[in-house]
Chains A and B, each alone.
Chain A
Amino acid sequence: MFKLFLMGCLFFITLAIIAALYRVVKGPSKPDRVMALDNIGINLLAGVAILSILLHTHAFLDIILLLGILSFVGTIAFARYIERGVVIERKHIE
Chain B
Amino acid sequence: METSMSILIGVLFTIGTYLILTKSLLRIILGTSIISHGVNLLILTMGGLKSGGPPLLGQHDTTFTDSLPQALILTAIVINFAVTALFLVLSYRTYKTLGTDNMDQLRGIEDE
Residue on B nearest A60 in the bound complex, by CB: B54
- Taking a contact as CB atoms under 8 Å apart, the answer to whether A59 and B60 are in contact is no
Residues of A in contact with B, size category: under 10
In the bound complex, how far is the Cα of B59 from the Cα of A56, in angstroms?
Answer: 10
Q: B5-56: which residues lie under 8 A (CB-CB) from chain A?
A: 53-54, 56
Task: Give min CB distance, B88 to chain A, whole Å.
Answer: 13
Residue on A nearest B60 in the bound complex, by CB: A56
In the bound complex, how far is the Cα of B63 from the Cα of A57, in angstroms?
Answer: 13
Interface assignment of B61: CB less than 8 Å from any CB of chain A: yes
Q: A59-78: which residues lie under 8 A (CB-CB) from chain B?
A: 59-60
- In the complex, chain A residues whose CB is within 8 Å of the CB of B53: 55, 57
- In the complex, chain B residues whose CB is within 8 Å of the CB of A58: 59
In the bound complex, how far is the Cα of B16 from the Cα of A37, in angstroms?
Answer: 21
In the bound complex, how far is the Cα of B61 from the Cα of A56, in angstroms?
Answer: 9
Task: Give min CB distance, A48 to chain B, whole Å.
Answer: 12
- In the complex, chain A residues whose CB is within 8 Å of the CB of B56: 57, 59
In the bound complex, how far is the Cα of B56 from the Cα of A32, in angstroms?
Answer: 39
- In the complex, chain A residues whose CB is within 8 Å of the CB of B60: 56-57
Residue on A nearest B53 in the bound complex, by CB: A57
- In the complex, chain A residues whose CB is within 8 Å of the CB of B59: 57-59
Residue on A nearest B54 in the bound complex, by CB: A59
Extra 12 A-B pairs, beta carbons < 8 Å, given A57-B53, A59-B59 = A55-B53, A55-B54, A56-B60, A57-B54, A57-B56, A57-B59, A57-B60, A57-B61, A58-B59, A59-B54, A59-B56, A60-B54
Name 14 A/B residue pairs within 8 A (Cβ), A-sorted: A55-B53, A55-B54, A56-B60, A57-B53, A57-B54, A57-B56, A57-B59, A57-B60, A57-B61, A58-B59, A59-B54, A59-B56, A59-B59, A60-B54
B residues within 8 Å of A by Cβ? Answer: 53-54, 56, 59-61
Top 9 closest A-B pairs, CB basis? A59-B54, A59-B56, A57-B59, A57-B54, A57-B53, A56-B60, A59-B59, A57-B60, A55-B53
